[in-house]
Amino acid sequence: MKIRTYREGDGEALARLMVTAFGGEAAYANEYFDPRQNPRLDPEQVHIIEEDGEVRAGVTVLPMEVLVDEKPVAMGGVAAVMVHPAYRRRRYAGDLMRVALGDMGDRGANLSLLSPFAHAFYRSFGYELATEAVEYTLKPTDLSTDPGQSKLRAYREEDLPAMMALLEAESRGHQLCALRSGGHWRKTLGRKDFEASVYEADGEVRGYLIYKMSGIREGREPERRLEVQELVAATPEARRGLISFLAALDPDDFDVRHWTSREDPLHPYLLSSYVDAKVEPDQMLRLVDVEGALRLLDREGGPIVLDVADDVIPKNAGEYTVGGGEVVRGAEAEDRVTLDVRQLAQLYAGYLPARQLARHGLLGAGSPGAVDLLEELFPTGDPWLFVPDHF
C-alpha cells in the first residue's frame, strides 16, 4: 500500500472509483477529476492510496476561500472521500484524512469544511457541525404573486459582474460563506440542467435566481419539481418579483424546493406559514491550526483563556489567551474555559452560543463571568454555504 498524490493519468482511475463508490454518472466523475474542466481542482491536493498498482482510495481537498468576519481566508474543502468497496474496513479513508489535514496545515489553510456522509466518522478527526439549512418543499400557491415579476428576464452573459457583486454583498452576512471564483461562476451558469433569471429595474440588475427543473417524476404528485439553487435580491421589490416567478408555476405540475439559511427563513413572510420546512445539518468545520484560526478573527472581547483539547492534532492542544484583537499562546488572563477543538469550531462559526454548550456540559467555565466573556467574543451568527458552492 502506497500513499501518494495525483499523477498525470490518474483522472480516469479516480473517476471509475467515484462511480464505483458513490454511483452517479461517469461523465460527471470524469469532469470532476479533470483539472481543465474543474476550476476548483488542484491535483497536488488529491491524495491517493495505491495498492497492487491500482487506485483504491482517494481524498480530494479543494483550495477555496471563505469569509471570516467579512475577510477572505484560505479554507480546505474536503470532498470525494472514497474507498473501493473491496478495500473498505482497512482504515484507508482515515489514513488519507490524516494526510490531508497535515497537508492543509503545511499549506497554511487554518480552516477546513466538508459535507459529511457520517458525522461520527468526521468527528473522529476533529470536525464538528457548524452550519445548517432550512429546506422548504412548497406548492406554488403557498407563495405570493407580485406585479414586479414583469421585471424578470433570462440571464445574459453581460449580467455576470452584477450578479457577482450581489452575491458578494449578500455573503458578508454569513460566516464561512464561500467566495465563488469567476471560473466556478461560469461553470455553475454553464450547467445544462441550470437556468437563471435576473430582476432588472431602471437598467440595473438587482436580484437573480438560479434554478433547475426536473423532468417527469413517475409516480410522484406533482410530477415535476423546481429546485431553487440560489435566490439573491438587493431590494424587497426584487425579492418579491423573484418569489412571484415561483408562485406563477402551475401547481398541478410543479412543487418547489428551496433552501435558506436559518436566519433568513421564508415561512414567516407567507400568507400561511403552514408549509413543509425541515432543518438540514450541513457543513462540518475543522480548525486545522487553532492559533492561526483565532488570529483571523476581528474581535474586541475578552481577555479570556481558552484551554483547548485536540486529540488529533497535538500541537493545537493547550492554552490561548484571546482578547483585544490579540491571540497569545499561554494563560495570561484570570477568566478561562476548557473546551474541545470541536466545540471551539462551533463557537468560531457562530453556530451555537457558549451558554448552550455550557448547559450541555460541552465546555467548562473557570469563573462566573467566563461564559459571558465567551459569548461576547464568539457571538452567534448565520453561518451558511450557498447551494452552488457545495462540494
Same CATH topology for 2-109 and 134-281: the answer is yes
Q: Look up residue 178 and give its DSSP letter.
A: B
Q: How far apart are CA 169 and CA 209, in angstroms?
A: 16
Quick: pLDDT tens for 249-307: 999 999 999 999 999 999 999 989 999 999 999 999 999 999 999 999 999 888 999 99
Could you tell me the residue ranges of all domains in the chain? 2-109, 134-281, 290-377
- Longest CA–CA span in the chain (Å) reads 65
The confidence score (pLDDT) of residue 317 equals 99
Q: Mention the CATH class of domain 290-377.
A: alpha beta
Mean pLDDT of the chain: 97
Residue 153's pLDDT is 98
Q: What is the CATH T-level fold of the domain 2-109, as seen in this structure?
A: Aminopeptidase (3.40.630)
Q: Which CATH class is domain 134-281?
A: alpha beta
Cα distances from 289 to residues 49, 84, 273, 331, 374, in angstroms, run 25, 31, 43, 18, 20
Per-residue model confidence (pLDDT) at position 131: 98
Give the model's confidence band at 218: pLDDT under 50 very low, under 70 low, under 90 confident, else very high.
confident
Tens of pLDDT, residue by residue over 22-75, are 999 999 999 999 999 999 999 999 999 999 999 999 999 999 999 999 999 999
Residue with cell 490518474: 10
Taking only the tens place, the pLDDT of each residue in 113-149 is 999 999 999 999 999 999 999 999 999 999 999 999 9
Distances (CA, A) of 338 to 209, 305, 370: 44, 8, 10
- pLDDT digits 0-9 by tens, 167-201: 999 999 999 999 999 999 999 999 999 999 999 99
**Looking at residue 163, what DSSP letter applies?**
H
What integer pLDDT is reported at residue 258 of this predicted model?
98
Q: Would the pLDDT of 165 be above 90?
A: yes
Q: Evaluate if residue 219 carries a pLDDT over 90.
A: no
Phi-psi region of 126 (alpha: psi -120 to 50; beta: other; left: phi over 0): left
